[in-house]
Amino acid sequence: MSNKYDPKEDGHTHLNVYSRGASRLGRALSNFSKLSFDHPLHGWFSSVEGYWYYVSTGFLHDELRDVSGIQAKQLGRSYPRVMIDEATFQHHIRVALDARFAAHPWLRVELAQSTLPLVHYYYWGNVDNPKVVSPSGRWIMEHLEYCRVRLRENMTDKERYMLSTVRYNR
């Protein structure tokens, strides 16, 4: 396996931020998840994946606002890419991730409550010998980790109450 994380250990030793991950939190943190948000500059989107392609195709295709998951990726890839510098692109995605947290208090609480390392990898094939691929995008995991720390430090009283009464579910 080319990755130090075993998919069979997802939810026990780490959280795979992946649409097919084992944990509810890992699936929810995926860009594919259908967790809508209002971006402060660009408005409403059904998913971060749709927003990702909205940015990477030049902010031109409003139909990307209403899609999530593989549908967002397929639609986004059907449009030509518009070059944008990497720092600006990453900034836009970080703002979208923050907006998604703002829109979903339960997601903030579950992330703040979690303690396992956040990682991202794809896997397929035999469960005893899966093919594991770690794509680029470490900056997204770093931002999610940063958000976790920030969320723990800045919780509202309601979120502290939720955190004290809600158990993390795989």
Task: For 27-58, write each residue's pLDDT tens digit.
Answer: 999 999 999 999 999 999 999 999 999 999 99
Determine what percent of the chain is predicted with pLDDT higher than 90.
73
Task: For 69-107, write each residue's pLDDT tens digit.
Answer: 999 999 999 999 998 999 999 999 999 999 999 999 999
- Residue 167's pLDDT is 53
DSSP state of 166: P
Coil, helix or strand at residue 97: helix
Q: Are 97 and 78 in contact (CB under 8 A)?
A: no
At 89, which helix (H) or strand (E)? helix 86-103
- Cβ contacts of 9-12, under 8 Å, gap ≥ 24: 11/116, 11/170, 12/116
Q: What is the distance between the alpha carbons of residues 114 and 125, in angstroms, rounded to a whole number? A: 28
Average pLDDT of the chain?
Answer: 90
Task: For 103-119, write each residue's pLDDT tens digit.
Answer: 999 999 999 999 999 99
HSE-CB of 56 using CA atoms within 13 angstroms: 18
- Residue 165's pLDDT is 62
* Distance between start and end Cα atoms, the chain: 24
What's the average model confidence in pLDDT over 10-22? 94
- The CA R_g of the chain, rounded to the nearest whole Å, is 16
Looking at per-residue confidence, does 65 or 135 come out higher?
A: 65
What's the average model confidence in pLDDT over 120-130? 79
